[in-house]
Amino acid sequence: MEYTDTAGTQKSVRSLLKQIGMDEKQAEIYLALLSLKSAKASAVAKLAKQSRSHVYIILRELEEMGLVSEVEQGNVLRFIAEPPERLLSFLKDRERKFRDLQQLVQGAMPALNAMTSAYAGSPRVTVLKGLDGMKQVYRDILTREYVGIYNAQASIDTFGDNIVTMLFGKQATLKGRDLIVNNEGAEQYLLDVPPTKDYQIRLLPKGMDFETDTIVFGDTVTLFAFDDERTIIRIENKKIADTFREWFEVMWNTSKELKSSIL
């Protein structure tokens, strides 16, 4: 049987499999076996263009995930791809596992925090990269009270939507103040996430552009750069955070207060 690899379908399916927890090799070999339905490891290896020993290991991994089974026919071991619907069961198992892990991690927080040394004087600077890292840091920050500078259009270009709606839906409840870069994305953001008593918004003057988002909460300044690597820089230092807040107040006082009409 020929293993078809049409540009559209195969690429989107591979991407989906990676999102639900498979690595690239697991996705490749799973799709190869799925197209064969039942085959020896050597046949899967030939179709996936991988070494037989490597394919055998990954088939065992997929078997543990409940996506592959095996049968012995005439002293020949054959692997069988379970129906694609089994992916839904696999996802449910992962959800349960992560719910349990979340509770364990929450319970371990006091012990983990006790192991962390305090940085009293010099700032602690950490760097994260990638879209998943961005989402994780935003999710943490946006549940706190903060001040920030937000480029809604950059967020839309990067995530396909503004980050607040994407993470928390249109019922999001923010606490703090945002200065919004006055571009095309600002109008849609103000419709999706209108100001409230606890969340105030002002528009930066036209032409004042920021290619990064800047958020200050507590003693931490976080910068989000929408470059190719999706870089996040966190600076933990009270004096630096206070300085950023002073800059924020200067810009807040010179920015456009929202009236009844948007923009």
Asked, for residue 250, whether it belongs to a domain, the answer is: yes
- Given 29, 62, 86, the domain boundary residue is 86
Query: Do 58 and 169 lie in a common domain?
Result: no
pLDDT of residue 262: 42
Query: Do 130 and 252 lie in a common domain?
Result: yes
Asked, for residue 185, whether it belongs to a domain, the answer is: yes
Q: Tell me the per-residue pLDDT of 144-196, one tens digit each, with 9 for 90 and over.
A: 999 999 999 999 998 888 899 888 887 888 999 999 999 999 988 998 998 99
Q: Tell me the per-residue pLDDT of 207-216, one tens digit each, with 9 for 90 and over.
A: 888 888 999 9
Query: Do 146 and 219 lie in a common domain?
Result: yes
Given a cut of 60, whether residue 2 has pLDDT beyond it is: no
Domains of the chain: total: 2
Which pTM value belongs to this model?
0.56
What's the CATH number where 167 sits?
3.30.870.10
Which pairs from 225-233 meet CB under 8 Å and 24+ separation? 226/151, 226/154, 226/157, 226/158, 229/129, 229/130, 230/129, 230/130, 230/131, 230/133, 230/134, 230/158, 231/127, 231/128, 231/129, 232/127, 232/128, 232/129, 232/133, 232/134, 232/137, 233/125, 233/126, 233/127
Residue-range definition of the domain harbouring residue 165: 123-257
Asked, for residue 18, whether it belongs to a domain, the answer is: yes
Asked, for residue 29, whether it belongs to a domain, the answer is: yes
pLDDT of residue 235: 92
Query: Do 131 and 81 lie in a common domain?
Result: no
What's the CATH number where 74 sits?
1.10.10.10
